[in-house]
Structure 1
């Protein structure tokens, strides 16, 4: 039975821990069934954003006429686009694996693994199985697409998950997207911009329903202008008929719809991989949703085992997982008892329009005393030159504490970082409002929202 100083389960955020352990000359094992880099690199954030960038370019060309620029798209080399992204992602994952294999301190098990006892992991090898053990284990086992049991026909009708969609080499003529969250929104944008007809069937009354209500309504309206959008429908069945795939859904009032396409993408959320790692055998407790339970130091219920990233369910973002990995290094490797903190934790939705958000929404603050400031893109010099509209919205406490910030529109994923930095640095709303902003940059949209929330005088007629 091979013994290590530390075992890292999962090669996504977990490789941050493994690399730090390597730097400390610890004997470390990494167990990862797929490529190093985890979901984000291989079948999530990285490939999807590389593909979405192409979608942004295509949409810009299609809208160029509104700015007096005559342009058209002669062809979209869909397979070439997908192949190019896949090749780059594969090369990066292989590079990480090569670095791991060259290290004298790291043993990389690119295979399935599972707990079979306390800090004991069974791994599949060509010649059978082996068991690994260590005094410390960091579980960074990730998540996977969730397939709802309530949908009939998933065992008979072929469908795509987000992972499948990112590697699809033949563009569907008509894609039916089931779901209304960020994955559904981002994938609808990509395939729609590539020339596919897109229909979306979501259970909520708006898309991205976890965002601030005004932001969600704005995005839903923008998508309804371009795609066939059905909100407020629970999908009940997948079926096939006359070489077409069908999605059947029903509203709360009993109204039934049937949406047809040549491909179906199920984008109905993600579930933690705790079950595939058989965490119960390792004495690791999970909550009712299957996430591994952790304390403020990311310790699990099992002695000497920490959990980070999607499997722990704290935020389920790559950037939050990386922050947790830093704390796992401090606690598991350096013996500290540091409580994880997420200062200025923001997130983005890379649809069209983009969304950037941090902190609380107005729905979260229902009944609390707060002030709101909103500012539209077209009230700024650069924003008014764009073809796409949008707005920024800030929620502040009476004492100027920043409670929440939300922006929907061009470059929202970048604009939100000004506020994330401010919150992390301990700045308040007045600090952001009074900061000199470059004119005429889009960041004036952010400043405008803060000035309005705090009652600062207008800067001109």
Structure 2
């Protein structure tokens, strides 16, 4: 048995920086990765998708160029070149992450699959088939999540794609069918539509983006429909089948049976914790009914000295949350600080175009919590920079505590929506009131400047 001071399982956006910090602090550390270094973000999430979304926006703007008086005749998209560029960016990021790990003194990178065999003991099955037993008093789990495949009749018999495998599809889909309407479905749907694919989204709920306010979700839906995407809600998918070169889905809407066929099928029905092979029961780590590892506010499990970080622990499944998790654990272990995940801000973006930046409470959540609220809304058609740049799709929305003037949350559906949202996040962290934002000086003409006008809409309330 090989002993370490610390073992990290998974080299995602929490595991990598935490492993380096522990090693630099003098702890003999091992990080175990069964696939590529960098986790979901670098290999099958943020990096590849945003690289391809960038290409899709270029195609979109090329088609719009004549609106601006710029002669254009966009040639057929070279989809192979899009994929090649994506692969180059991913390889660059991955190699950088790999180099950072392998050049850290006191840190061993082990390539293989880990599973618990007892209390704080692990077996690693290496890629060459050999195995080794490891032990450490400090173990951190950062194994992430995997796509959920819904129990639809016939689905296992058709060549469906996930958010990972779609990134390496060898050809541009002629007609992409998407099950689900979360952030992954929205981003992929718009991206492939801009590449020239026909796109149909099927959602079993009455509307898309059920975690967002209804008016925000409706605004996103209108943008996607304007882009030529078909969205079918309240669609209960009953069966999937392969018909020659096509995939057909049979579904019901309000009891009426319908069928749609496409060349490719993307499953975007959510994600589940990647804990199946860890054998957590062997070391006594508790999970909830969905398999997520249960942690306290310092991210420690019920077993002292074992922590869980990132998507595997449940809660907001975002790269920046995973990265912040490592800071909390590092401070707790190395500096004996009582840093906590409790009440930390949870900003996030959906990278459609325009993108949706979100922070704090939605209007619905604020109402359910009993706040006396005021709601500020401003369509992008009233934003000077939006008009000037031809980007008038979307809206800005903020929820305010009517009693204190504090900003409770915001939804910014706009070009640079995430950047604008971040301004409000900082304001919320600094306990600025909405009228301080309304009266503040922002550079003109910027999208952020329209926060003045957004909060001016409350003057007549």
Range into which the TM-score falls when normalised by the shorter chain: over 0.9
Aligned to 2:450: 445
Q: Distance in 2 between matches of 1:210 and 1:127?
A: 44
Equivalent of 1:436, from 414, 425, 441? 441
The Cα shift of 1:118 comes to 1.7
Aligned to 1:459: none
Aligned to 2:212: 211
The Cα shift of 1:172 comes to 1.1
The Cα shift of 1:387 comes to 4.2
The Cα shift of 1:454 comes to 5.3
With 131-140 and 237-246 compared, the bigger mean Cα shift is at: 237-246
Equivalent of 1:411, from 416, 419, 427? 416
With 415-424 and 184-193 compared, the bigger mean Cα shift is at: 415-424
Aligned to 1:143: 145
1:421 aligns to 2:422 (yes or no): no
Aligned to 2:321: 320
SS at match of 2:458: helix
Q: Distance in 1 between matches of 2:323 and 2:158?
A: 37
Q: TM-score, normalised by structure 2?
A: 0.94
1:249 aligns to 2:251 (yes or no): yes
Q: Distance in 2 between matches of 1:380 and 1:101?
A: 49
The Cα shift of 1:422 comes to 1.2
The Cα shift of 1:99 comes to 3.2
The Cα shift of 1:286 comes to 0.8
Aligned to 1:133: 135
Gaps spanning 5+ residues in structure 2: where?
none
CA displacement 1:83-107 (0-9 Å, x = unmatched): 2211221232133223323333111
CA displacement 1:371-405 (0-9 Å, x = unmatched): 01111222222112224422101100021111110
1:170 aligns to 2:174 (yes or no): no
The Cα shift of 1:222 comes to 1.6
The Cα shift of 1:166 comes to 1.2
Query: 5 Å matches for 1:200-239?
Result: 200-225=201-226, 226-239=228-241
CA displacement 1:104-144 (0-9 Å, x = unmatched): 31111111111122211110023521111101011111001
CA displacement 1:412-444 (0-9 Å, x = unmatched): 122111111111223222222221111111112
1:32 aligns to 2:33 (yes or no): yes
Q: Distance in 2 between matches of 1:241 and 1:224?
A: 27
Aligned to 1:6: 6
> Is the contact made by 1:185 and 1:207 (CA closer than 8 Å) also made in structure 2?
no
Q: Distance in 1 between matches of 2:99 and 2:396?
A: 44
Q: Distance in 1 between matches of 2:209 and 2:69?
A: 33
Q: Distance in 1 between matches of 2:224 and 2:11?
A: 35
Q: Distance in 2 between matches of 1:352 and 1:247?
A: 28
> Is the contact made by 2:381 and 2:392 (CA closer than 8 Å) also made in structure 1?
no
Aligned to 1:158: 159
1:395 aligns to 2:399 (yes or no): yes
Gaps spanning 5+ residues in structure 1: where?
457-461
CA displacement 1:241-260 (0-9 Å, x = unmatched): 13211122223x21222111
> Is the contact made by 2:24 and 2:104 (CA closer than 8 Å) also made in structure 1?
no
CA displacement 1:53-84 (0-9 Å, x = unmatched): 11111111112223333322112111111122
Change (3 A) 1:453 1:115: farther
> Is the contact made by 1:320 and 1:342 (CA closer than 8 Å) also made in structure 2?
no
1:382 aligns to 2:362 (yes or no): no
Number of aligned residue pairs: give it. Answer: 454
> Is the contact made by 1:429 and 1:454 (CA closer than 8 Å) also made in structure 2?
no
> Is the contact made by 2:154 and 2:240 (CA closer than 8 Å) also made in structure 1?
yes
Aligned to 1:363: 364
The Cα shift of 1:409 comes to 2.4
SS at match of 1:70: coil
SS at match of 1:188: helix
Q: Distance in 1 between matches of 2:451 and 2:309?
A: 32
Q: TM-score, normalised by structure 1?
A: 0.94
